[in-house]
């Protein structure tokens, strides 16, 4: 990562010149709409950037102190963030051999830790043409603490472009807000293949959301890459109000009742609209699997309990799937 930082404002002779260059490179912040308010970018209820804690995780925690201080300085120069929102603020772009790189801060101005699932982002020309679209999986990025900010890079590879612009064309980052069909939320989280999505849609069409019932159910489990296990969980909200699910404990047992895996995921700010549902895939890493040599087809997955904000009544199911597609 430091090879990028070496080129950032390094030739400037004073912090004031650096500050001017920072503001010249800033883009418009994108908001994910977690607050539920319309047009959050127009809100005047904002939190100064300096009041957010800058957290350097992953490849960013290996930076030299001077480079880390530069990242904190850039962050402090950002405009205030909308309260109770999660924003993505691009602050630097670069054309690389692999693709178009956008460096951002993901700023969490809510009072809860936030775990993102998938971010559908685009690159847009000054004329408004979308030249690249990509869904970035964010589960491995980990949680973003309350009132904190984390740097994050998004790389659009050249073979992912629908139309290659001229090298000098400035591109801006866009957020494709998920489009909903009637009564249906976006399938989110880990990778769910198209044939699996179609299968689940058919199953849900035959079993619609029940009035007054909140349902958290494991739909299936499947062997995934690197010895991990993928578990698909259905969240259904039959109430007249929006719900926030905060915890998803998952237990997998074999046919003898022995525990194969026991994990718990924190999903604060994961909301389901009234009379609606969401489906999220969770990937249990191989390091969390307690028993080896077990056939997934002989296993049962349970959701023993979960936490819901405002303590609404809950009903939890378990299922014993034999693969995803029957």
Task: List average pLDDT for each run of 10 residues in the chain, which is 326 residues long.
Answer: 47 58 76 81 90 84 77 88 92 89 92 77 94 86 84 94 89 79 39 65 74 83 82 86 82 90 74 80 83 87 61 34 32
> 252 and 154, same structural domain?
no
> 101 and 194, same structural domain?
no
> 192 and 171, same structural domain?
no
Position of tokens 């969980």? Answer: 233
Last residue of a domain, one of 131, 151, 175: 175
> 203 and 82, same structural domain?
no
Q: Is residue 12 part of a domain?
A: yes
> 256 and 128, same structural domain?
no
Q: Is residue 183 part of a domain?
A: no
Nearest residue to 186 via CA among 177, 195, 174, 173: 177
Task: Give the integer Cα–Cα distance in Å for 68 and 75.
Answer: 11
The range of the structural domain enclosing residue 162 comes to 2-175
pLDDT value for 273: 79
> 204 and 71, same structural domain?
no
Last residue of a domain, one of 151, 175, 199: 175
Check residue 161 and report its DSSP letter. Answer: B
pTM value? 0.57
CA angle, residues 40, 46, 51, in degrees to nearest 5: 135
pLDDT value for 319: 36
Last residue of a domain, one of 135, 150, 175: 175
* Tokens matching residue 37: 């308010």
Handedness of CA 111, 112, 113, 116 (dihedral sign): negative
Residue 222 pairs in a beta bridge with: 230
> 194 and 150, same structural domain?
no
pLDDT value for 185: 37
pLDDT value for 124: 94
> 263 and 146, same structural domain?
no
pLDDT value for 183: 36
> 8 and 117, same structural domain?
yes
> 217 and 156, same structural domain?
no
CATH at residue 234? 2.60.40.10
Count of structural domains, the chain: 2
Q: Is residue 111 part of a domain?
A: yes
């Amino acid at each position: 990562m430091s090879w990028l930082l070496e080129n950032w404002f390094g030739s400037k002779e004073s912090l004031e010149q650096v500050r001017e260059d920072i503001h010249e490179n800033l883009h418009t912040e994108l908001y994910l709409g977690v607050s539920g308010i319309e047009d959050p970018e127009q809100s005047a209820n904002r939190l100064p950037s300096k009041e957010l804690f800058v957290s350097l995780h992953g490849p960013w925690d290996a930076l030299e102190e001077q480079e880390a201080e530069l990242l904190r300085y850039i962050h402090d120069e950002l405009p205030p963030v909308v309260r109770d929102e999660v924003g993505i603020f691009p602050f630097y772009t670069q054309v690389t051999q692999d693709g178009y790189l956008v460096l951002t801060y993901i700023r969490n101005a809510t009072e809860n830790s936030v775990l993102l699932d998938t971010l559908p982002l685009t690159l847009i020309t000054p004329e408004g043409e979308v030249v690249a679209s990509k869904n970035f999986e964010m589960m491995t990025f980990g949680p973003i603490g309350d009132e904190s900010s984390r740097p994050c890079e998004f790389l659009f590879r050249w073979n992912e472009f629908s139309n290659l612009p001229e090298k000098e064309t400035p591109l801006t980052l866009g957020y494709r807000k998920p489009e909903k069909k009637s009564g249906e939320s976006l399938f989110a989280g880990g990778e769910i293949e198209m044939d699996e999505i179609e299968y689940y849609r058919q199953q849900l069409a035959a079993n619609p959301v029940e009035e007054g019932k909140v349902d958290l159910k494991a739909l299936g489990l499947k062997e995934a890459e690197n010895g991990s296990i993928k578990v698909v969980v259905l969240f259904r909200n039959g109430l007249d109000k929006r719900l926030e699910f905060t915890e998803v404990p998952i237990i997998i047992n074999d046919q003898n009742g022995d525990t194969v895996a026991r994990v718990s995921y924190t999903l604060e700010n994961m909301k389901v609209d009234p009379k609606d549902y969401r489906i999220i895939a969770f990937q249990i890493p191989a390091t969390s699997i307690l028993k080896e040599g077990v056939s997934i087809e002989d296993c049962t997955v349970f959701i023993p309990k979960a936490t819901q904000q405002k303590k609404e009544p809950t009903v939890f199911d378990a299922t014993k799937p034999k693969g995803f597609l029957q």
